[in-house]
Amino acid sequence: MDETVKPLRIPPQISVYAEKHEIFDLLQTMVSSLIIDQPEEPISYLISLLKRDRVDVPKIIILGAPASGKTTIATKLCCQLGVVHVTTDSLLREAGLQNTHTQQDVPDDVWLRLIQQRLNTPHCFRQGWLLEGIPQSRLQALSLQENGIIPQHVVVLEAPDDVLLERSQGRMLDPVTGDVYHRTFIWPSDQSVAERLEKGRGQSEEKRLVELQQYRCEVTGLISAYRHALKAVNADQPHTDVYQQVLNFVLTPGRSVAPITPRILLLGPPGSGKSHQATLLSDKYNMVNVSCGQLLNSVAADDSRLGGLVKPYIDTEQKVPDSLVLQILTERLSRLDCCTRGWVLHDFPKDLQQAEKLNQSNYIPSRVFFLEMTDDVTMERLTLRTTDPVSGERYHSVCHPAPPEVQDRLQTSPKDTPEVVRDRLTDYWTNTAPLKSLYVDAVSVNADQEPHTVFESLESRLLDRRTSSTRVQRS
């Protein structure tokens, strides 16, 4: 470590404060509003913007070919989320054009004005909105975006043409509610509703094919316009499955939401895969992989002052004092790459005292994961693994046996003997309960699975902005 070049360090309080008070989201809102509205007096405009009540409401678009189920999905979503349902018919009706015009008859500039007027109403502003089947072309989509109508979530319902044509032929209409059903695909559970259904007004097969062809010509452009916020859902499956996939998607934060800086802490017994999972997270999300053990070894190899203090402990395999570990670790976490890209930390803390000192340094993780595993699995994973000293290849007598030609030269690490592993497990379980009492929102993940399955569990909680940052129980 060259002490003549001092790396840029950022106080940890900055990111913690910014996320707690949603500063990143606020900055993104201000910049995007400036770009969209382009006010002549930007400072006055931003001041007035800051004085408004911030309202984060759903902004959803549901697209799909005729008979893909847009209306049914949109109606259920609006009912569950409490958002305003905006359709072509409702816009034409409010403009007094429902009996004389279709959307194709209305010029794009007039159509844009109708949409803006509807979405600027107090109900849409406060409750959020869902556009069903709008826009119908890439040009319309770009016009909406240019005028500040930017959805958080866009769903495209996809199904083969033969399925869509079959659905068009079997439509049934509830004359009371206007809901659409189908004898094969969607049938009401309420018998009284089923008894009053009427055959829907059908179109000729020729007209259905024309509408389907028009949609196919436009859908590629629509997808490219909304690729930042889009999810394609297979509509050729049970309706409940389609709806659940759409609901799960719209309940996750949109990609327009300002990102957080991940600060991840991986805890778990020896052999639970902390190092491997940290590598996977680091590789995929470009966060800094901070292994406390490797960090101490690299510092000890330096000619720096800290390296000289750490080296005697490393050489004699003694425990490095917590104060020295904290000094080295916090110096690493304060560097620019950790503050901008985020970090995933493992091998520290190992007990309550270390964790409290880490928190006192204001390096508070936003996610804490405990990789859970039984002692029997730990013993099997560690005591049966060996290393070929010639190639450096690692083997396991059950999961990854060594070829016969290297069997005689395999070596077992002193840390993997049964006696040492049992002692390490005793230390871990002694300190686990206090750590869990400190990290009250930590998530437990079953580590006795395929590594990819464990990674998917970690990843799902990492990306879920609805999950609050880890609370620390203050003493």
pLDDT band at 468 (very low <50, low <70, confident <90, very high): very low
Q: Which of 256, 255, 245 is nearest to 155 (CA)?
A: 245
Question: Could you tell me what percent of the chain has a pLDDT over 70?
Answer: 84
Residues 6+ apart with CB under 8 A from 64: 70, 133, 155, 156, 157, 158, 159, 235
Q: Is-contact 383 417, C-beta < 8 A?
A: yes
Tell me: pLDDT of 326 over 70: yes
Tell me: pLDDT of 464 over 60: no
Tell me: pLDDT of 56 over 80: no
CB atoms within 10 A of CB 139: 13
Mean pLDDT, residues 238-244: 86
Amino acid letter for position 255 = R
In CATH terms, the fold of domain 55-250 is Rossmann fold (3.40.50)
Q: Do domains 55-250 and 263-463 have the same CATH topology?
A: yes
Tell me: pLDDT of 348 over 90: yes
Give strand ranges (E) for 307-366: 343-346
Amino acid letter for position 179 = D
Instruction: Quote the pLDDT of residue 101.
Output: 52
How, if at all, do strands 59-64 and 129-132 pair?
A: parallel
How, if at all, do strands 180-182 and 171-173 pair?
A: antiparallel
Instruction: Quote the pLDDT of residue 1.
Output: 44
Residue indicated by tokens 């109900």: 123
CB atoms within 10 A of CB 2: 9
CA distance 244 to 240: 6
Question: What interhelical angle do 205-225 and 161-169 show, nearest 10?
Answer: 130
CA distance 254 to 265: 25
Per-range mean pLDDT, top range of 81-85, 107-111, 195-199: 81-85
- For the chain, the domains span 55-250, 263-463
CA distance 202 to 168: 7
Instruction: Quote the pLDDT of residue 72.
Output: 87
Say how many Å lie between the first and final Cα of the chain, rounded.
36
How, if at all, do strands 343-346 and 288-291 pair?
A: parallel
Tell me: pLDDT of 306 over 80: yes
Name the DSSP class of 153: E
Q: Phi first, then psi: what are they for 157, rounded to 5°?
A: -90, 125
Residue indicated by tokens 């509703």: 193
Give strand ranges (E) for 140-217: 153-158, 171-173, 180-182, 198-199
Instruction: Quote the pLDDT of residue 104.
Output: 62
Task: Write out pLDDT tens, residues 174-204.
Answer: 777 767 766 666 666 777 777 777 765 555 6
Average pLDDT value over all residues in the chain:
84
Q: Phi first, then psi: what are they for 192, rounded to 5°?
A: -65, -35
Task: Write out pLDDT tens, residues 433-458.
Answer: 999 999 998 999 999 999 999 998 89
Tell me: pLDDT of 462 over 80: no
Q: Answer left, alpha or beta for residue 224, where phi above 0 means left and psi between -120 and 50 means alpha.
A: alpha
pLDDT band at 473 (very low <50, low <70, confident <90, very high): low
Task: Write out pLDDT tens, residues 357-411.
Answer: 999 888 889 899 999 999 999 999 999 999 988 888 888 888 888 898 988 899 9
Q: Is-contact 30 43, C-beta < 8 A?
A: no
pLDDT band at 283 (very low <50, low <70, confident <90, very high): very high
Q: Which of 464, 443, 431 is nearest to 266 (CA)?
A: 443
CB atoms within 10 A of CB 72: 19
- CATH for 263-463, among 3.40.50.720, 3.40.50.1370, 3.10.20.70, 3.40.50.300? 3.40.50.300
Tell me: pLDDT of 102 over 90: no
Q: Across the chain, how many H-helices and E-strands are there?
A: 21, 15
Instruction: Quote the pLDDT of residue 274.
Output: 96
CA distance 34 to 12: 30
10 Å CB burial of residue 344 (0-12, 13-18, 19+) is buried
Angle, CA 232 vertex, CA 221 and CA 160 arms, to 5°: 85
CA distance 362 to 305: 24
- Lowest mean pLDDT: which of 9-18, 230-239, 259-268, 275-284? 9-18
For residues 325 and 462, the model is more confident at 325
Tell me: pLDDT of 139 over 80: yes
Tell me: pLDDT of 299 over 80: yes
Residues 6+ apart with CB under 8 A from 128: 57, 58, 59, 60, 81, 82, 83, 84
pLDDT band at 248 (very low <50, low <70, confident <90, very high): confident
CA distance 443 to 457: 10
86 three-state secondary structure:
strand
